[in-house]
Structure formats: structure tokens, C-alpha cells
Amino acid sequence: MQASVHTFDADTGAGSVLLDDGRERAFAAEVFARSGLRHLRVGQRVSLTATDERITRVWIVGIGDGEPIA
């Protein structure tokens, strides 16, 4: 699934994304910490994995181990 970064707090690592249907979903600082990314910017497109309750993974295709640009 893909989304656009809506908010990001660089001090805590927590933030939120807007899904393509307009719904806002928050992600916890732990999710960002596991991503291996150093920063996110508002409007940036990201890929994510989510359950009904929470976002479990955020990443950018092509950045990080095992993420070849396709």
C-alpha cells in the first residue's frame, strides 16, 4: 500500500500519512525507527504495511536492504 506523509515529528519519529482514499493513519515512533530512514518530509510518497489497527512498516522503495528500485 502507498500513502503520502501528512505529518512527521523529527524529534520523536512519530507521524501520520494520508492514504489514497483520504483517510489519515498515524504511525508510531518505533515504526519509523525500524525503517532505517533518517527523515520524512510532508508530501513524500511512502510504502507501508498496516493492519486494521496500526501501521507496522514504513519504507521507500529502493532505499534499504532488499529494496531494489523496480
Q: How does pLDDT run across 20-60, given as a tens digit for each residue?
A: 999 999 999 999 999 989 999 999 999 999 998 899 999 98
Residue 25, in any domain of the structure: yes
Print the domain residue range for 11. Answer: 2-59
The 10s digit of each residue's pLDDT in 2-19 is: 999 999 999 999 999 999
In a domain, 69, yes or no: no
Structurally, how many domains does the chain consist of?
1
CATH number at residue 30: 2.40.50.140
- DSSP secondary structure code for residue 9 in this structure: -
pTM: 0.85
Kindly report the number of other CB atoms within 10 A of residue 60's CB atom: 16
